[in-house]
Every structure is written in C-alpha cells, then in structure tokens.
Amino acid sequence: MVDGKTILVVDDEERVRDSVREILTDEGYRVIEAPDARDVLGLIEKNTPDLVLLDIWMPELDGIGLLKELKEQRPALPVIMISGHGNIQTAVTATKIGAFDFIEKPLSLDALLTAIRRALGEPSARAPIAAADEVNGLAGAKSARGSRSGKGGRPSLRQKTLKKSVVVAGQGLHTGRKTGIILHPLPANSGILFSGISGDTTVPAHLDYVCSTGYATSLQGKGMVVGTVEHFLATLHAYGISNLLVKIEGEIPILDGSALEFCQLIEEAGIEEQASAWSEIVIDRTYRVDAEGGEWIMIEPAESFGARYILHYPKPVGTQEYTYVSHGPQSFKSEIAPARTFGFVREIEKLEKMGLVNGGRLSNCILIDDERIINTDLRYKEELARHKILDIIGDFYLLGRPIRGMITAHMTGHRDNIALLREIRQGMGL
C-alpha cells in the first residue's frame, strides 16, 4: 500500500475519472479530480498533489496549454499526460515541455501504475516489463555467465540508466513517417525495452526478437515491430546504458544517418550508475560465419571490444578499411558515431519497390552514383567502413550485455552480424 500520496486526475470524461479513481484508491493513493483546466491551479495550491494525470483534449484550455502553466509554476511536480488521440509527435511535444510520461487511452492498468510508480520514485509492484522472464539474461539473472566464460575476467560493471527523460524527433528512413523516441530511465535489471506510446506492450532489445535484417535490423514482439534499431543500440552499447524504456512509433528516426545526435541525447540526459552489477560477455574462442560472395565475419578473444571492417566496391568507393578499438564513449563519439548511412543510386529503385527508403533524403545518407558521391563530402576518408562498424556495434548489443572480443568483417551486413551472434550464444551457452 502507498503511504497517502495524492494524485490529481484532470479529465473531462467522467467515466475515465471514475475508473482511474477506483484503481488508484485500491492502490492506496488519495485521489482528487477536476473535469477541466479552470480550477486546476487552485486545487494544486490547496491540496499539493504529488502527481498530476492530465488529459490532453479538454474544452477551453487543453492539456498541453495547462502543462506549460504547471511547469512554469511548479516545475518539480510530475505530470503524466493521457490521451485517446495521441501520436508520437504529441508525446514528443509533451515530453519536451516537461511531462514525465505520455500514455494512450484506453488506459492499461499495468502501464498506468508502472508510469505512476516511476514518476513517484516508488518500486514497481512487479517487474517493470511484461517480458522480464524472457530476457532474464540481459542485465541480471544470467550475468554470472560472462564471468564463467572468461577466465581472469574484469571486475563486474555497474548497470546504468539515464538521469532523466529525453526526446528526439525525426523521420523513419524506410517508412518515411514522422517519428521520434522518448527515453525514460528504468530500474536495475530491466534491460532495454521498446514500447508504444501506451506502454502496455514491450519488446526487449534482444536477439530472440529480431524479425528482419534486410537493410536494417528490426525487432518484433506481441504485435509490435520496431525498425532500424542499430544506430541507437550502438550508442547505448558505447555508453553502457543497460536499463531504458524507449517509447516509439514504428521506426527509430534516421536523423542525419549517423549516431551523433543519439550521443548528444544521452549526454543531455546524463548517466546514472546503478547499484546492481552486470558483466561483459568475454569471448572464449574464435567464432566465424561465412556467406556467399566472399562475405565473412568473425570474433576472437581480446582484451577489449573492437571491430575491423574491410569493404570493396567499384569506383568511386574502392577499398576502405578501418579498425576501431573502444576506449569508452568518447572514442565512439569521435571515431564511429558521425559515420553516416550510405547507398547507391542504382539500388534506390529496387529498394523503393520493396517499400523501403521512403524517408531517404539527401540530408540523411551518403548517396553514390557510378562516378562520384553526389550529395555531400565524406566526414572521414573511410566513412563507409566506419558506418559498417557502427552497425556492428549496434547489432552486437542484442545479447544484452557488452562484449569483450575483436570482430573482423569483410563485406558483411546485418544478417551476418545476427548469424554470428547466434553462433556465440550457442557456443557459450548464453
């Protein structure tokens, strides 16, 4: 039971207020109500609630307008927005103004209570994810296996989350739709979780949920698909973020085709080290996957994590090779994160027929024809090879823990990365 914390419910639908009141009262909260925005500031002054549940669509002053007033007058008061007509753009707007979270109607009991407990800093009544048992190796229960697999391994690492919620908006590379992500801190042993705006369905960032590796890595679970996760996961991998709720609508935004803005987003939020330990997956022997056309990728034991990539394309690209050895987030941010997605003009028609690259723009990819790079200057002379390493770093976070080993890859893509991960899992009993 909760020790008398007060929640103000602001919603013009009486049946919604009645339902929420019953739920919250049963959980031990004190509930006060308002049918519109007119008396809210007075109610807050009189009752000093610990949290506000605020509907967006109301007569007179809508929830977004009221949220602005609340944040100006009571910046520390947590506000959770609720809406039956929300989308990721509305959610991003509300979060930028200062909303703690955004939940869709019809309200899910579990999602509502989980959001309230996170906002109030209370422990969840149960694991914060529906699929907790399915990913029990990501951050907690199986972490000892990393130590078992690597003799003389390093001391355990600490799990990490963000200090606050942050958002970024953009466009999906393949869907072409406006999209965005909202990042919320999670307790230790939660893992990296993707969810829709409602928060009632989650998809873990884990190998078991990979559904597609054609031109991007996509995850699927319980009817929800999350596309183009690799650049974002690479950033979480580099910064050691182990617990995070990622609210999204369909596809991670492509931004400028690199991971640089994701680095800035993590740094804006700040990183919180958590008390619980976790460990690296320490590669115990060489694992290798070969494919048709001379593609191959392997990983060998090493003292740190790194990746070497070799690519050969006809002119104007030619041969590019780059070796990256991780020395922490800043080495990733300077060497790998700025490297952008690239594509060839001759492939665009094929991809369009497949329903892909609908969001491709001259500003978010390196576009190459038979003679030259036609839309930009390279940020590095081997930017294409570095971008392939970015993809590898992201895909290799789908075992749920950082990896210690050296990867070498030749002309490979997401399918090969995932195949090698499966070999590692089988060989190491993860």
Query: Reduced to 3 states, what is the DSSP secondary structure of residue 75?
Result: coil
Place of tokens 């829709």: 196
- What are the helix and strand counts (H, E) for the chain? 12, 23
Place of tokens 């070498």: 408
> Torsion angle of alpha carbons 213, 134, 234, 412, nearest 10°?
-30
Tokens of 50: 């610990």
The C-alpha angle 88, 399, 238, rounded to 5 degrees, equals 70
Which residue numbers are catalytic?
Answer: 414
Backbone CA torsion sign across 98, 1, 273, 235 = negative
Structural contact between residues 214 and 357, judged by C-beta atoms closer than 8 angstroms: no
> Torsion angle of alpha carbons 68, 74, 77, 82, nearest 10°?
-20
Backbone angles phi, psi at 226, to 5 degrees: -120, 120
- Give the number of other Cβ atoms within 10 Å of residue 63's Cβ: 25
198 Cβ contact list (under 8 Å, min separation 6): 103, 104, 107, 108, 111
144 Cβ contact list (under 8 Å, min separation 6): 279
